[in-house]
């Protein structure tokens, strides 16, 4: 029997730096670090394929940092934790809080069960700058508008905690009765579509740190404008690292803040504020992933069209900017924010397909799939959310493409069959004359799709549909 063992349950905090629960656990005794792949309590939000792939590599990275001492399990944490507590006589458990509704419900049940066994639970904030219950309006109700949430709520509240160092004297012990390995969790896909994805990421705590440093060195200056251009390197690509907790928002916040004050830094920090806003919304409105935040959208006349949905999913819409984004997503597990907004608007407004279809596809394909950010963002795009884009603002994918990818470098990268087209034609290839296309080996409808809808007519239909619920 191991003496004085305390348990640290890793969840969305797959790091050793700035990990409040791990620091506290380390100060109390020998730490048994565990990860449980919960395939029981998630309901319809089972982790998507791209996230599972990321998690596989992230757990390996964490295990290396922990000298191979991470014990992994698969199943229902409600049973697994009790089992560990009993057979290893654990008296105290530490974890950092998670905020998805199914996680909070599960954790509440686990706490109750552990109380019956006389085991103490200590939980910490390891993934948000401000707890959702701390940022409320003066009347005690949650904010529904981002600017006042961030300016009046967050920035008027306490400064985010400074990052903690790696725990000193971290004494680790693995579970001697558990023989499961990370590979036994079967997180990798059976058809190996993931081999190409590896080149785009450095997964794990070290990768996250390098990514942040690189961004601070060469991306932050110019962020405010540059973040709109998908071919420029002005975004941090930290979202999957933040989702899995390979880096904390506090580390990012303070590192960015240590740079000289500028409009770029301010804007970057406010994007972390959007992340806080999404979590705040999800916490206070737990139906956000499934129900329209604005009930009037319950009567919206969405269409059903599997063929159009599939063309959108596979990047075969005939609109190069949309197709570039959808293919970037498929090949890397990521899509640039500007393009997420444009492909989202195209799905819900031009194609009139329900935002749930987009949310589900992103959930499966994104390496940064995050219940709070994904559902809040899809509702924002659809116009049904809190502080959402007005429904009548319908992005024109051709104008967006000309404005934010003027040399079409992004399009050429992800839609190589059009790469020889001149910049003045590539954004709307159907406007080129046939012989010009043919000379470049392009035949619309054969080598690249014709547009699947008429932009003008679909815009009118979208506005008509919106007027019905206004
Ligand atoms: P940066 O510009 O470098 O921003 C830094 C960090 O701020 C990001 O890592 C992210 O944590 C946060 N952030 C930035 N923009 C937003 C935003 N609009 N909302 C919330 N947080 C933000 N983000 C996710 O993390 N997971 C999702 O599942 C997700 N789904 C989205 C779906 C749609 C339809 C849209 C329009 C946006 C979605 N976003 C999602 C938000 C945003 O697109 C990504 O967070 C961002 O593109 C990540 O890239 P980055 O790390 O380079 O961002």
* 271 in catalytic set: yes
pLDDT at 4: 78
Distance from the first to the final alpha carbon of the chain: 66
pLDDT at 442: 97
In terms of phi and psi (left: phi > 0; alpha: psi -120 to 50; beta: otherwise), the region of 365 is: alpha
Tell whether ligand 1 has an atom less than 6 A from the beta carbon of residue 271.
yes
Q: What are the pLDDT digits (tens) for 440-449?
A: 999 999 999 9
Instruction: Point out the catalytic residue in the list 361, 378, 380, 414.
Output: 378
* 274 in catalytic set: yes
Tell whether ligand 1 has an atom less than 6 A from the beta carbon of residue 278.
yes
Tell whether ligand 1 has an atom less than 6 A from the beta carbon of residue 235.
yes
Q: Which residue among 219, 271, 376, 385 has the greatest number of ligand 1 atoms within 8 angstroms of its CB, and so is best to mutate?
A: 271
Answer whether residue 365 shows pLDDT above 70: yes
* 302 in catalytic set: yes
Q: What are the pLDDT digits (tens) for 93-115?
A: 999 999 999 999 999 999 999 99
Tell whether ligand 1 has an atom less than 6 A from the beta carbon of residue 272.
yes
Cα–Cα distance for residue pair 309/312, rounded to 1 Å? 5
Considering the chain, what percentage of its residues have pLDDT values greater than 70? 99
Q: Which residue among 217, 364, 368 has the greatest number of ligand 1 atoms within 8 angstroms of its CB, and so is best to mutate?
A: 368
Give the SS3 label for residue 425.
helix
pLDDT at 1: 43
Answer whether residue 2 shows pLDDT above 80: no
**Average pLDDT of 7-28?**
98
Q: What are the pLDDT digits (tens) for 116-150?
A: 999 999 999 999 999 999 999 999 999 999 999 99
What is the DSSP secondary-structure string of 112-136? HHHHHTT-EEEEE--S-SS-TTT--
Centre of ligand 1 from the C-alpha of residue 399, in Å: 22
Answer whether residue 11 shows pLDDT above 70: yes
* 355 in catalytic set: yes
Centre of ligand 1 from the C-alpha of residue 110, in Å: 31
**Average pLDDT of 264-289?**
98
Cα–Cα distance for residue pair 115/109, rounded to 1 Å? 10
Instruction: Point out the catalytic residue in the list 131, 231, 257, 271.
Output: 271
**Average pLDDT of 408-433?**
97
Cα–Cα distance for residue pair 305/351, rounded to 1 Å? 9
334 Cβ neighbours under 8 A, 6+ residues apart? 200, 237, 239, 240, 328, 366, 367, 368
Answer whether residue 391 shows pLDDT above 90: no
Q: What are the pLDDT digits (tens) for 29-64?
A: 999 999 999 999 999 999 999 999 999 999 999 999
For tokens 């785009």, what's the residue? 200
Tell whether ligand 1 has an atom less than 6 A from the beta carbon of residue 370.
yes
Q: In terms of C-beta distances under 8 Å and separation of at least 24 residues, what long-range contacts does 42-48 make, across chains too? A: 42/102, 43/102, 45/100, 45/102, 45/289, 45/363, 45/371, 47/369, 48/363, 48/364, 48/365, 48/366, 48/369
**Average pLDDT of 399-427?**
97
Instruction: Point out the catalytic residue in the list 102, 337, 417, 430.
Output: 337
Q: What are the pLDDT digits (tens) for 249-273?
A: 999 999 999 988 899 999 999 999 9
Centre of ligand 1 from the C-alpha of residue 450, in Å: 31
User: Given the CA of residue 336, which atom of ligand 1 is nearest to it?
Assistant: 47
Per-residue DSSP letter, 203:
-
pLDDT at 3: 56
């Amino acid at each position: 029997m191991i003496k004085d063992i305390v348990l640290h349950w890793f969840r969305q905090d797959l790091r050793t730096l700035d990990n409040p629960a791990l620091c506290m656990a380390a100060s109390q005794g020998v730490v048994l670090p565990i990860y449980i792949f919960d395939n029981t309590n998630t309901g319809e939000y089972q982790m998507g394929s791209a996230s599972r792939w990321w998690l596989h590599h992230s757990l390996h990275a964490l295990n290396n940092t922990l000298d191979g001492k991470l014990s992994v399990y698969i199943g229902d944490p409600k049973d697994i934790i009790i089992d560990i507590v009993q057979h290893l006589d654990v008296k105290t458990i530490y974890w950092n809080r998670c905020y998805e509704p199914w996680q909070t419900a599960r954790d509440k049940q686990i706490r109750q069960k552990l109380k019956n066994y006389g085991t103490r639970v200590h939980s910490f904030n390891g993934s948000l700058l401000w707890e959702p219950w701390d940022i409320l309006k003066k009347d005690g109700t949650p904010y529904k508008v981002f600017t006042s949430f961030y300016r009046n709520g967050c920035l008027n509240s306490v400064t985010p905690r400074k990052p903690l160092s790696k725990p000193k004297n971290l004494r680790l012990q693995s579970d001697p009765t558990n023989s499961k390995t990370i590979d036994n969790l079967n997180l990798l896909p059976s058809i190996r579509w993931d081999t190409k994805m590896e080149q785009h990421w450095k997964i794990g705590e070290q990768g996250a740190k390098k990514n942040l440093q690189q961004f601070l060195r060469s991306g932050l200056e110019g962020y405010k404008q540059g973040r709109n251009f998908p071919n420029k390197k002005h975004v941090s690509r930290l979202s999957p690292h933040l989702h899995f907790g390979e880096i904390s928002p506090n580390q990012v916040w303070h590192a960015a803040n240590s740079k000289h004050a500028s409009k770029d830094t301010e804007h970057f920090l406010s994007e972390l504020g959007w992340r806080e806003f999404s979590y705040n919304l999800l916490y206070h409105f737990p139906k956000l992933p499934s129900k329209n935040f604005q009930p009037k959208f319950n009567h919206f006349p969405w269409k059903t069209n599997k063929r159009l949905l599939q063309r959108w999913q596979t990047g075969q819409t005939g609109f190069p900017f949309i197709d570039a984004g959808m293919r970037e997503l498929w090949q890397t597990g990521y899509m640039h924010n500007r393009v997420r907004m444009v492909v989202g608007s195209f799905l819900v407004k031009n194609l009139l397909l329900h935002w749930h279809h987009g949310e589900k596809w992103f959930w499966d394909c994104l390496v940064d799939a995050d219940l709070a950010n994904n559902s809040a963002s899809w509702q924002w795009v659809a116009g049904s959310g809190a502080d959402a884009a007005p429904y009548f603002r319908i992005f024109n994918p051709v104008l967006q493409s000309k404005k934010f990818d003027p040399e079409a470098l992004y399009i050429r990268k992800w839609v190589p069959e059009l790469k020889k087209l001149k910049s003045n034609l590539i954004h709307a290839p159907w406007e080129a004359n046939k012989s010009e296309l043919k000379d470049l080996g392009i035949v619309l409808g054969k080598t690249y799709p014709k547009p699947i809808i008429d932009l003008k007519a679909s815009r009118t239909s979208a506005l008509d549909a919106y007027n019905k619920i206004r």
